[in-house]
Chains A and B, each alone.
Chain A
Amino acid sequence: MTSIVHDPAGSETAGTIEAAAPPATRRPARPPLVWYSLLAAAFVLGAVMFRFAYAEAFAHALTGGDPAYHYTVYWIGMALFLVPASLRLLRANGVSAGERKVLLIAVAVFTYIPRVLRSPSQPLFFDELAHWSQSEHLYQSGKLFQPNVVAIVADYPGLHILTVAAQHFSGLDTYQVGLVIGGLSHVLELLAVFVLVRRLFGSQHTAGLAGLCYALNPGYLLFTAQYAYESLALILVAWAIVLAQEASRPESPRATRWRWTAATGVVIAATAVTHHLSSLFLVFVLVVHALAHRPWRDWERGRYAVWIAVIGIAANALWMGTLGSSVFTYLAPYPREGFEQILSFFSADGQSGSGRSAFQASSLPRYEMVLALAAPVVVSLLGVIGAWLSRRRWRTSPMLRTVFIVSVCYPLSLPFVLTTAGAPGAHRSWPFTYLLLSGLLAFTIAAACSGTAGRRGGPGRPRRVAFAARSRRINALLKAGAIAVVMALIVGNSGSENNNESMFPGPWQVGTDARTESPELLAVAAWAKQTQGGGHNFISDYTTGGVFGAFADDDFLVGFPSWDLYFYDAPPKPQTLQELGPDKVDFMLVDSRLSEAPFESGFYFEPSEPEAYTRTSPISLSALEKFTAYPWAVKIYQSQHYALYRLEPGELNAGVYGVTP
């Protein structure tokens, strides 16, 4: 019979200094060498399996190879390490807190390997390209707030400053520093969850499992491992919550709590200048945390949480009010349209809402799609059970009340996935809600696998739940079930977040950022940078523009009505031509494959273009090739699919060549 190892010093209501507290239980036995050897071998073997999956995909990138093979090898590799690591973390006794933390770090490093192999030497995803080029510009020019293809990126320079500082110290290039930041974020997120949950439940066993559960969140494998401002902000948010929890501990001396408040303030301020959504989420959590203290009843206890929330609000108000004001116009349409589309589900026509359905034209394996549909149900269920099992602690733990309230956001976000406007926000919210939700998931798993549900009356008094008296066989079955849940969640959550195009290299696909960057496009960009120099404005479709702009060092012109030029066979409107120049647009990049299929993302240029999200037929090839008839468009480069035109403002009135205007 096993039981949760309780760590009274680690609990939210226990001693002030964790490191100084006496051990609550017997000293854990030294981990057997066989476990270390097994884990090390599993780590290496799993990583090698990842390498085989990606090597095959890279070698057959033009045809796509055999996706079933990629996924099989990939998930076997994942299981090779994750299963023994989970087994070790599931052990309630005989594993020290230090070993659990090291195991979590190993999980973090291991799950970061596929992301590095996906694109080892240069940025790949659209956001990544935007941030990479922003950091490159900062490194070269020293200027902050330069325009970017994602306009809002210019107003949040936290990541770019950190990158450039690290570049100056280390001599690494921008992308290498980006990989270091991504790897660090993977590690630090799991450690934050460990510290938070250990303090919350007083159990290193639950804390270790919470870290593992966080590693299963949908964005963990790719999205929050990208070189993007969310990845950095996510660490800051996680640790701001950890530090806020420390500041709110009533046992600490007043001076110490002020110091924790100051440290939290530093992290909050950094979040405010790094990423808008993260800082807004953090403010939400801090306000809930402050209210959960009920400061109107006990000001002395709750005032630190209140001050931290005030710092959060003030930092965001200051930044958004001065330099980040564009965030309101950037974010505002999404919640409004998301709610409208949700409501349209219940309207009479029922069809007018989203334009999205689950796994529309997806090439993911069937098991991954099934698990992706099951994962939210399993997670919600485990969360509810965890909340129920921990209900007696709600009264004494403001952070647990905060955890519960924030965790409710996860199931509430699920319907938005079916809306075009709400889906990005829903997906982006999960890595944040999982920070707190994973504590409840871990509490359920720990209770099931150890036969206890944690302390009831105080440190060192484990409460046996009804199924405590059970056989070793049932224990083994429960552990096997927990391992199955872990694997099902990582596969399913990955399926709900990452499509085949993001996961593996393959043939070019219209409108998918991860499949737009190809040697052919990089060759155009390299030629343009070499012969034309950087710093020119250009237009193209959105995803191509992200890659070309980043590597040619040119600026994608945001807000230009490019569709007037690209969509129609007829000559462009005179108003649009007038907007082309002089000195407004220097280059136009046209991909002839835009005529092959409507954009996956729902629009070619921007969401406000005609027929966005509803277009069923692609742009005609003749519309894309018509530019050779206009003297204002000189085609200076032609590859198999890309044509690069230099625009001549002096010839805008020349009309069609050979036809008198």
Chain B
Amino acid sequence: MSRAITSLRSVVAAQRAGGGVPAAVAGALSLANLPVPGVWKAVLGLPLAFWAPGYCVAILIFGHASWAARFDGLVRRAAECVLSMAAWPLLVLLAYAIEPRVTASSVERCFLVLVIATLIRVQLTTRSAGSDEAAAPRYQPQPQPRARFSERVPRALIAAVAVIVLGGGLTAVLAYSLPPQQSSTASAAALAGTAATADTPLARETAQGGEVSVTIFNSAPVAHDYRITATVTGAGTWTATVTTVAADSQTTAKLRGALPSTACLSRVSIVVSDGSQRLQPLVAYFRGNESGSCDQ
């Protein structure tokens, strides 16, 4: 019975010694995995990623009481951030040696291992302190007045966090208010359909003719009429197509025409112009019609 009480007391003491932070971290990790809205996930997740692992590493190395006596609150938090940034690559590389894949679950496993190791470290430290207490004639806890929030958390730390959060918010607002980068309103054209993706030379539609699709992009703020002309080397020009493309949108047009029957390859040059400007031609090739036409 007395051992159970001693054990319970050491758990409570561990919780006190650890400041409850490891448990809070584990809780936050669970919350971060819930389908919370993006902003809240970021609010919870960023400290978990950039501070919590470093805190655990510091506790593992120094022990809670010893670490709390290093530096001041603000610098200690900064050191924990740095240790977090250092711990992630090392932890994940170790995990990668076991399972060569970096996934959400592998990252969380790394984190949980670190938190559990920290809890064990705190527990062991407190047990050792507890056994020292047991050896003492009688355990008499000294009532300590609980420190005020402003004493436990330095004012500089609060101010620093405020500066970072408000400064970040202001930066985001200013960035959001920037106009888009001024860009050329020139058009663009691309082969479409099978011509865009299939290996060439393209297959003919018929023995004497072919078809090719072209997408036209209009990035201007007004609609434009585009004239699409396809010229087949050695076989003249296909019937031109005129198409209207709305402002800041795209349209795909089809062109059909005759191809030379004897050539090994037939080259089609497609020119897109809107009256004021003319793009350099797109170029595609059609396969010869007759077997043996490419034997030369």
Contact = CB atoms under 8 A, between A and B. Distances in A.
A60 B73 CA distance: 47
Contact of A267 (B78, B83, B167): B83
A106 B167 contact: yes
Contacts of B83: 263, 266-267
A165 B156 contact: no
A62 interface: yes
B174 A117 contact: yes
In this complex, the member of A48, A121, A165, A634 whose beta carbon has the largest number of chain B beta carbons within 10 angstroms is A165
A626 to B, nearest CB: 12
A169 to B, nearest CB: 4
Interface stretch (A15-23, A395-403, A556-564): A15-23
Interface string A260-294: 00110011011101100000000000000000000
A51 B177 contact: yes
B38 A62 contact: no
Contacts of B236: none
Interface in B86-113: 86-90, 92-93, 96, 100-104, 106-108, 110
B86 A236 contact: yes
B103 A142 contact: yes
Contact of A61 (B49, B182, B187): B182
Interface in B150-203: 154-156, 159-160, 163-164, 167-168, 170-171, 174-184, 186-191, 195-197, 199-201
A533 to B, nearest CB: 9
A592 B181 contact: no
A239 interface: yes
Contacts of A158: 89
B-side interface mostly: helix
A266 B89 contact: no
A170 B160 contact: no
In this complex, the member of A98, A271, A648, A651 whose beta carbon has the largest number of chain B beta carbons within 10 angstroms is A98
Interface string B195-233: 111011100000000000000010100000000000001
A636 B265 contact: no
Contact of A171 (B38, B87, B155, B285): B38
Given A191-B78, A638-B281, A142 B102 contact: yes
A117 B175 contact: yes
Contacts of A646: 200
A487 interface: no
Contact of B167 (A43, A164, A194, A195): A43
In this complex, the member of B89, B175, B279, B282 whose beta carbon has the largest number of chain A beta carbons within 10 angstroms is B89
B66 A259 contact: yes
Interface string B45-81: 1101110000001100110001001111111001101
A474 interface: no
Contacts of B102: 138, 142-144, 161, 164
A531 B196 contact: yes
B163 A270 contact: no
Contact of B179 (A58, A98, A184, A657): A58
Contact of B104 (A54, A168, A262, A625): A168
B49 A184 contact: no
B267 interface: yes
Contacts of B73: 19
Given A105-B163, A643-B280, A195 B71 contact: yes
A20 B160 contact: no
Given A50-B174, A58-B179, A98-B154, A17 B186 contact: no
Interface stretch (A108-116, A335-343, A369-377): A108-116
B79 to A, nearest CB: 7
Contacts of A17: 69-70
A116 B156 contact: no
Contacts of A631: 200-201, 265, 267, 285
B128 to A, nearest CB: 14
B284 interface: yes
Contacts of B176: 120
Contacts of B72: 18-19, 97-98
A195 B196 contact: no
Given A162-B88, A270-B85, A636-B196, A191 B75 contact: yes
B82 interface: yes
Contact of A256 (B66, B179, B195): B66
Given A171-B41, A639-B188, A520 B183 contact: yes
Given A256-B66, A519-B181, A532 B89 contact: no
B183 A58 contact: no
A32 interface: no
In this complex, the member of A101, A116, A232 whose beta carbon has the largest number of chain B beta carbons within 10 angstroms is A101
B262 to A, nearest CB: 13
A505 interface: yes
Nearest to A263: B61
B164 A61 contact: no
Contacts of B110: 165
A233 B180 CA distance: 33
Nearest to A524: B188
12 contacts: A101-B74, A101-B160, A142-B106, A195-B71, A236-B82, A259-B66, A266-B61, A266-B87, A267-B86, A527-B217, A637-B190, A651-B200
Closest 9 CB pairs of A and B: A98-B156, A170-B45, A270-B86, A519-B183, A109-B167, A120-B175, A169-B45, A639-B188, A640-B186
Given A169-B46, A170-B49, 15 more contacts: A51-B174, A51-B177, A55-B178, A106-B163, A121-B175, A165-B49, A168-B108, A188-B82, A239-B82, A259-B61, A520-B184, A637-B282, A638-B282, A643-B280, A648-B199
Interface of B: 32, 38, 41-42, 44-46, 48-50, 57-58, 61-62, 66, 69-75, 78-79, 81-83, 85-90, 92-93, 96, 100-104, 106-108, 110, 154-156, 159-160, 163-164, 167-168, 170-171, 174-184, 186-191, 195-197, 199-201, 217, 219, 233-234, 265, 267, 269, 272, 277, 279-285, 296
Interface of A: 17-20, 43-44, 47-48, 50-51, 54-55, 58-62, 96-99, 101-102, 105-106, 109-110, 112-113, 116-117, 120-121, 138, 142-144, 157-158, 161-162, 164-166, 168-172, 180-181, 183-184, 187-188, 191-192, 194-195, 232, 235-236, 239, 242-243, 246, 256, 259, 262-263, 266-267, 269-271, 273-274, 505, 518-520, 523-524, 527, 531-532, 592, 625, 628, 631, 633-640, 643, 646, 648, 650-651, 654, 657-658, 660
